[in-house]
Amino acid sequence: MEDKERYAIGQQDFKTLREGNALYIDKTAFIGKIVNSQTKYYFLARPRRFGKSLFLSALRYFFEGRRELFKGLCIDSMEWDWEPYPVLHLDLNTDRYAETGMLDGVLDNLFREWEREYGVEDKAETLSSRFRNIIKAAHEKTGKQVVILVDEYDKPLVGNLNRDDNFEHYRLKLASIYSNFKSSAEHIRLVFLTGVSRFSKLSVFSDLNNLNDISFEDGYADICGITEKELIENFTTGISALAAKRKEDFATACATLKKNYDGYRFAPEGSDIYNPWSVLNCMDKGRIGTYWNDTGAPSVIAEALYEADVDVEEILNSEWKLNRLAGLDLRNANPTALLYQTGYLTIADYDFEYDEVRLKVPNDEVREGLFNDLLPVYMKGKEGWAEEVVFKLKKGIRNGDPEMMMKELAAYFAGIPYDLKLDNENNFHNAFYILTTLIGIDAKAEVHTSDGRIDLLIETPKFIYVIELKYDATPEEALRQIEEKGYARKFTTDGRRLFKIGVSFSSETRSIDGWKIDE
């Protein structure tokens, strides 16, 4: 019977989870698919906290022949001799790699253990040579080819995105280690690597041209995460408890979970996927929360968007060639690929004719986390702003009080430090769009009309705000453009209360210096 004690939050060891009778979403069919294929080298990219480590752990115990751990699971019915293979499990998720010597320490500890286990007496001088000797010795001692599992292969690289010297040091070090996958092929049964991203032009896999990247494969789309079917099959009791606590019916609770945690799609025809970390925490704690966001996110995401000087709304709803999302050139990181690979964007639709995907923010939890991270970057230096500004802006916009809304915005922008890059309209639009979206307002920037583009359009169930921003001009000029271009014309018969607002933004003071409201 499903109960809270079975939600093993953060448990990444398959053996501990199974022996503790914890809830496990059965992904072992994918193990059967992998071991029965002719492919030797696999790579899987997924965002953090999506179950990559648990899947690798299950692979490890499968190849170690621990059949008792798989009793009742899909793989238990597969024909397999269950004889143990030597498994080398490199978990690189154990350190932050702030200094260049940290990877050496992690690898040296692992290699010492394996050298003792497989009787390697003469240690080579380099870590790469030691690893090659271990692979060979493991095969010769056991008579079985070696299984190599690398968890978070890119952790040392991701942790040094903004530190060029460290990044290059770790890239070369990892490339030398991973080069053994090709040179030692005769001793290897399987290599399976996981990570957040696959680096392209600076690849650590330059010598491995037969690496099978299953990250976008339809047949592996739900290898990690929770599908709709798996959610209902495994969490009925938890969803019922959540519904009772929220005083809503079961269907409404499911819709709430979907809105907050579903929406990921990792392949053109793949299933929608729920974030497993967030679902497990929600079931365990009995409330909707921002659990994935709370585990932390690399600051490089928000900084990359800011430095790229892009239109935030446009990039969060963009169309891309599928293969452009697969690789990441960190010397010139594209913010869209970075957002996709780290889980802030996902596939919404796929156009087979043009091999293009339309991207979107997966769900409300991700949207809130992303915009919370973005806002301080675009509005640096003002401490303690969040609760007061969000509360007053939300109140002004939802209550149809544009004067209150503009006063809060003006006061807020006036407090931004001088060195903030608000020296063009694009960044002002981004800052405003991020803020209004964060507080749950339907805000759209650069809305096209038959005679131009509305700078900002805000809609609520009762009110419409048509806003024109002018740099170093008067509010009257901005308001006049709204009238002359007919930006508000299509809303005149809408039935909601309509506000037209002309706003002046000063390049000298870098703040709002005036506005005019017409109803």
Distance CA 439, CA 409 (A): 13
Mean local confidence (pLDDT), 186-202: 83
Mean local confidence (pLDDT), 451-459: 73
Mean local confidence (pLDDT), 449-463: 75
Window from 225-234, 278-287, 453-462 with minimum mean pLDDT: 453-462
pLDDT at 421: 45
Distance CA 462, CA 472 (A): 32
Mean local confidence (pLDDT), 148-162: 87
Closest CA to 198 of 340, 342, 326, 324: 326
Work out the angle at residue 169's Cα, subtended by the Cα atoms of residues 168 and 172, and round it to the nearest 5 degrees.
80
What is the helix (H) or strand (E) element at residue 236, kind and residue range? helix 228-246
230 or 327, which is more confident: 230
pLDDT at 1: 44
pTM of the complete model beyond 0.85: no
Tens digit of each residue's pLDDT (9 = 90 or more) over 467-484: 888 888 899 999 999 888
Window from 452-456, 497-501, 507-511 with minimum mean pLDDT: 452-456
Range among 22-36, 295-309, 490-504 rated most confident:
22-36
Is residue 201 helix, strand or coil?
coil
Structure tokens at 507: 């390049």
| Residue type at position 449 | T
Which string of DSSP letters, residue by residue, matches 297-319? --THHHHHHHHHT--HHHHTT-E
Number of neighbours of residue 27 by Cβ within 10 angstroms: 19
Distance CA 190, CA 39 (A): 8
> In this model, does residue 2 exceed pLDDT 80?
no
What percent of the chain shows pLDDT beyond 90? Answer: 53
Confidence of residue 302 (pLDDT cuts 50, 70, 90): confident
Whether 65 and 127 have beta carbons less than 8 Å apart is answered as no
Distance CA 307, CA 397 (A): 30
Window from 100-109, 197-206, 329-338, 444-453 with minimum mean pLDDT: 444-453
Distance CA 40, CA 310 (A): 41
Distance CA 198, CA 325 (A): 9
Whether 149 and 56 have beta carbons less than 8 Å apart is answered as yes
Is residue 366 helix, strand or coil?
helix
197 or 125, which is more confident: 125
What percent of the chain shows pLDDT beyond 70? Answer: 85
Structure tokens at 35: 């071991």
Distance CA 436, CA 412 (A): 13
Mean local confidence (pLDDT), 221-250: 96
Whether 134 and 115 have beta carbons less than 8 Å apart is answered as yes
Confidence of residue 310 (pLDDT cuts 50, 70, 90): confident
Work out the angle at residue 206's Cα, subtended by the Cα atoms of residues 201 and 209, and round it to the nearest 5 degrees.
115
Strands (E), 24-166: 41-45, 87-91, 146-151
Which string of DSSP letters, residue by residue, matches 58-80? HHHHHHTT-GGGGTTSGGGGS--
| Residue type at position 330 | L
> In this model, does residue 331 exceed pLDDT 60?
no
pLDDT at 174: 92
155 or 413, which is more confident: 155
Confidence of residue 53 (pLDDT cuts 50, 70, 90): very high
Confidence of residue 41 (pLDDT cuts 50, 70, 90): very high
> In this model, does residue 229 exceed pLDDT 80?
yes
Bridge partners of 112, per DSSP, are: none
pLDDT at 341: 86
Closest CA to 215 of 43, 28, 51, 30: 43
Range among 273-287, 368-382, 409-423, 437-451 rated most confident:
273-287
Which string of DSSP letters, residue by residue, matches 392-431? HHHHHHHTT-HHHHHHHHHHHHHTS-TTS---SHHHHHHH
Number of neighbours of residue 37 by Cβ within 10 angstroms: 11
Distance CA 154, CA 7 (A): 28
Distance CA 350, CA 168 (A): 35
> In this model, does residue 457 exceed pLDDT 50?
yes
Confidence of residue 305 (pLDDT cuts 50, 70, 90): confident
pLDDT at 46: 94
Confidence of residue 454 (pLDDT cuts 50, 70, 90): low
> In this model, does residue 285 exceed pLDDT 50?
yes
Mean local confidence (pLDDT), 401-418: 75
Distance CA 328, CA 342 (A): 11
pLDDT at 256: 97
Mean local confidence (pLDDT), 435-460: 68
